[in-house]
Amino acid sequence: MGFVDYEVEGHVGIMTINRPKALNALNEDVLKDLGAAFDAVNLDEIRVVILTGAGEKSFVAGADIAAMSTMTKAEGEAFGKFGNDVFRKIEIFPVPVIAAVNGFALGGGNELAMSCDIRICSENAVFGQPEVGLGITPGFGGTQRLARLIGPGKAKEMVYGGRNIKADEAYRVGLVNAVYPQEELMAAAKKLASGIAKNAPIAVRNCKKAINDGLEADMDQAIVVEEKLFGDCFETEDQKEGMAAFLEKRKVERFINK
């Protein structure tokens, strides 16, 4: 895929947005390639996806402003829907997605990172929703996910003011899980992914679905979601192996994703 590179290391898929001369900015072609890359992931083998950007300056610096500058109202709304559809695909993707944010994550870049399950970043990372300075609102979920992740007060400060925050503040407000030196970021992402991938894949998928679906429901509905997904695990071979290993005081031989 032209703007998205994909490689596999064991049970981990590594996806890299590769448009470094434009700081990996998102246009329609990049979004198409990103959606197609996720559609092509072999879910029988892959248990975690790492998403990052090419180069050392930028994860994704935003949407392509030159491409947006001449859009009509209808075209702008359609572009927003197109980006939102791709990001929602990532958010509800069956396996966990880790964003390894290696620099600028502005506008659509921050929105893309927020559609992932877990965000870690390099020390030079910068996050923000600067759209109001361009006369527009965030259009790929920024007004929604940011408030849910860091609280409406801080989100409104960032969005209304178009104010960027650096890695240390992003960690302090809970936008990212951890901050690493640039040269250690991908190793840390792979270590995190490996720790997830070693666990029972169906159980991990069910945990993701339970958290995501539960956050969109009230508590009475949410615990029913959890109960069903908890029960579903008892139909799996991995549950039998995991509990047998515990009772027999041995290590799990392997989880087979069944």
Q: What are the sequence ranges of the domains in the chain? A: 4-197, 201-247
User: For the residues 40-67, what does the mean pLDDT come to?
Assistant: 94
pLDDT at 41 over 90: yes
Catalytic choice (7, 77, 111, 227): 111
Query: Is the model's pLDDT at 95 over the cut of 90?
Result: yes
Q: Is 111 a catalytic residue?
A: yes
Phi then psi for residue 44, to 5 deg, are -75, -25
CB 238 within 8 A of CB 258: yes
Interstrand relation of 178-180 and 4-9 (parallel, antiparallel or unpaired): unpaired
Catalytic residue selected from 9, 91, 131, 237: 131
Q: Which residues contact 246 (CB under 8 A, 6 or more apart)?
A: none
Note whether 87 and 197 are within 8 A (CB).
no
- CATH annotation of 201-247: 1.10.12.10
Residue spans of beta strands (DSSP E) within the chain: 4-9, 12-17, 48-53, 58-60, 97-101, 104-106, 118-122, 126-128, 165-166, 178-180
Task: Say which CATH class 4-197 falls into.
Answer: alpha beta
Q: pLDDT digits over 191-244, tens only?
A: 999 999 999 999 999 999 999 999 999 999 999 999 999 999 999 999 999 999
* pLDDT band at 1; cut points 50, 70, 90: low
Residue 167 reports pLDDT greater than 80: yes
Q: Is the pLDDT of residue 66 over 90?
A: no
Kindly report, residue by residue over 146-165, the tens digit of the pLDDT.
Answer: 999 999 999 999 999 999 99
pTM for this structure? 0.96
Alpha carbon distance 255, 242 (integer Å): 8
On average, the pLDDT of the chain sits at 96
| CA pair distance 231, 228, nearest whole angstrom | 5
